[in-house]
Structure 1
Amino acid sequence: MTTFANQQLVLTAIGEDRSGIVSELTKLVSECNCNIIDSRIAILGNEFTFIMLLSGDMAAISRVEHTLPTKGMELGLLTMMKRTASHQQNEFSAGYTLEYNGLDAPGTLSKVTRFFAEQNISISSLKSDTYEENDALHMRCEIEVNIPIEVDADAFKIQFEHLSNSLNLDYIFRRIR
């Protein structure tokens, strides 16, 4: 076990998008002797969002917790942190990526995610957006899921076919693991 495996911290930063923010935040993490073991960046509207999973020994994690609020204020960022532990993945029979698109309609993403919840299927990644095409607003979404062993994947796909038809969605399932 390495010294980076001792403690974990989820760090989120949100603020106006501009160059140099990632550099400043990753520099702070490095100077505190933490390791970035996972991260995501997204631009939503004019706002920059950065989520990192850090690991380090107790002293390193504490340094980040104490220095980030000041650095966040200097950079005009809203920051949030939470200690966590390594993710314990449940057994699953397969992992899939679902990509769907259609005319933008309120509630579509809610209905799709509720369908997964009702099937006891965990969403591990989700990205959605809208775009204009032929003078109409369309939506597209990419969701990564893990199908538990107890869920019949073929029956699940048939049930999703019914849902997608009722929502007028085009979709593709791809097995990824």
Structure 2
Amino acid sequence: MNSSLVFTFLGQDRPGLVERLADIVSDHQGNWLESRMTQLAGQFAGIVRVAVAEADIDELSNALSSLNIEGLTIHIQPGASSTAPSANNKLCKLHILGNDRPGIVREVSRALKQQQINVIEMSSNITSAAMSGDPLFEAHVSAEMPAACDLDELEDSLDQIAEQLSVDIVLS
């Protein structure tokens, strides 16, 4: 029977890093199911979910952990069964755009938490504004919204944050 294994990694970016991880997974009869990876400030980080036979979990875990001597920090956790959204819950998306400033992520995530909205995925980036060249913060958020969520209250909270921090927040 196959089990799900989730591991995170962080290390100095270099060619062949993903191949090294994929080789170890494959060498231990694992199947690479899904992943998210990115380079930030010269570091390469990711989270990976693999399927592996229960009999091979320890060997795969040990092989991945041995990458610590190659400068990678690896954390391994057993994966849970699929966490599909509840039939009563809805998926929502947020797009945030505005001049960069401290507190944007904190305030938006606080508003989501108050409505028991669970962030499923988030990506953010700093770019330069077209005309001024000022730092521009942009984020895309996918979240799971419970059926009991007060949409009017959420929109009011997000509008207040947008006005206070001078950012655009679009909820769909």
Relative to the length of structure 1, the TM-score reads 0.86
Counterpart among 120, 138, 141 of residue 140 in structure 1 = 138
Structure 2 equivalent of residue 51 of structure 1 = 47
In percent, how many aligned pairs have the same letter? Answer: 24
The one-letter code of the counterpart of 1:173 is L
Unpaired stretches in structure 2, ≥5 consecutive residues: none
Counterpart among 110, 127, 134 of residue 123 in structure 2 = 127
After TM superposition, which residue ranges in structure 1, 4 or more long, deviate above 6 angstroms? none
Counterpart among 147, 164, 167 of residue 166 in structure 1 = 164
Q: SS of the residue aligned with 1:18?
A: coil
Note the C-alpha offset of 1:170: 1.2
Structure 2 equivalent of residue 149 of structure 1 = 147
Instruction: Please show how residues 13-162 of structure 1 align to structure 2 within 5 Å.
Output: 13-74=9-70, 76-91=71-86, 92-133=88-129, 134-162=132-160
Note the C-alpha offset of 1:69: 2.1
Distance 1:67 1:93 in 2: 39
Q: Deviations over 1:102-159 (max 9, x none)?
A: 1111111111101101110000001112122214222111111111111133442243
Unpaired stretches in structure 1, ≥5 consecutive residues: none
Contact 1:93 1:147 in 2 (8 A): yes
The one-letter code of the counterpart of 1:53 is R
Aligned Cα root-mean-square deviation (Å): 1.7
Q: Deviations over 1:8-63 (max 9, x none)?
A: 22111111111111111011101111122221101111000121012222122111
Count of residue pairs brought into register by the alignment = 169
Q: SS of the residue aligned with 1:43?
A: strand
Q: SS of the residue aligned with 2:108?
A: helix
Contact 1:8 1:61 in 2 (8 A): no
Distance 1:71 1:106 in 2: 35
Contact 1:55 1:61 in 2 (8 A): no
Relative to the length of structure 2, the TM-score reads 0.89
